[in-house]
Structure 1
Amino acid sequence: MPEMKQSKMFHFLRDGKIEDFNRELQRGTAVDLENADLRGVDLRGCNLKGVSLKGAYMSYTDLRGLDLRFSNLEGASIKSAKISGAYFPENIMPEEILMSVTQGTRMRTVKHHVYEEKGKEQ
């Protein structure tokens, strides 16, 4: 169930105050965005390094250009989100991202991401 968090950090994002969010994050302010309702929010320019977005609802969210490699996106949904230029964590397979953007599925994570080389014998 999407949650409308009561924290100032959540409201900074919902209100488009990205600079305020980034400044408070840099100061060490705690951030709880797990299961957060971030639907339709423009997150461009947001520093989400180390922030858990586990189970977050981010349909129609603008994630363009974000570095999410160090964010926890397990169980998050990004249906119809704008993701051009975004970096995703290595523990989320490209197919999971595609299914979430197109179908709204929750992204599953894998423990170890292994790329197989075609033609390589084991």
Structure 2
Amino acid sequence: MDKPHIKTDPLYQLLRQEDVKAFNEQRDSLDCSNLRNGDYRGRDLRNMNAKDLDFSNSYFRNADLSGIDFRSTNLQGASFLDAKLSGVYFPEELSAEEIRLSLDTGTRLRYRKD
């Protein structure tokens, strides 16, 4: 598994710069595949359109993700240590316990296999 890192990808850089409005405007016209394995520590990403994105193995420590709908987002292996998650929707495959462990201890999210 790759460690999260900073990339030169234009969409990734918009999120690093917390320009969520520009990200939302450009996400459907640019390649979104470079968002996985990203380092999003401490970023304010509220209002981001995360529909059908792949944030697997990404790092969201201390990020403000309030109100984001992640229901159709790949979060496998992501870590949410101390992130703000008020009003966030998560994929059904993630249990509340799994999310709490990631929030409290930084564990990487594991999807249920029912």
Q: Structure 2 length normalisation: TM-score?
A: 0.94
Task: Give the letter for the 1:80 counterpart.
Answer: D
Structure 1: give runs of 5+ residues left out of the alignment. 113-122
Aligned partner letter, 2:84: K
- 2:85 aligned partner: 83
Q: Which residue of 1 aligns with 2:101?
A: 99
Residue type at the aligned position of 2:19: K
Residue 53 of structure 1 is matched in structure 2 by 55
In structure 1, what is the equivalent of residue 40 of structure 2?
38
Aligned length: 111
Shift of 1:111: 3.1
Within-5 A mapping of 1:64-79: 64-79=66-81
Aligned-partner Cα distance in 1 for 2:94–2:108: 11
Cα offsets for 1:26-57 (capped at 9, x unmatched): 3x211121110001111101101000000001
Cα distance, 1:101 vs structure 2: 0.3
> How much is the aligned-residue C-alpha RMSD, in angstroms?
0.9
Alignment-derived partner of residue 18 in structure 1: 20
Give the distance between the partners of 2:47 and 2:99, measured in 1 at CA.
Answer: 20
Give, in whole Å, the separation in 1 of the partners of 2:68 and 2:56: 16
Stretches of structure 2 that go unaligned for 5 or more consecutive residues are: none
Larger Rg: 1
Give the Cα–Cα distance (whole angstroms) in 2 for the partners of residues 16 and 35 of structure 1. 17
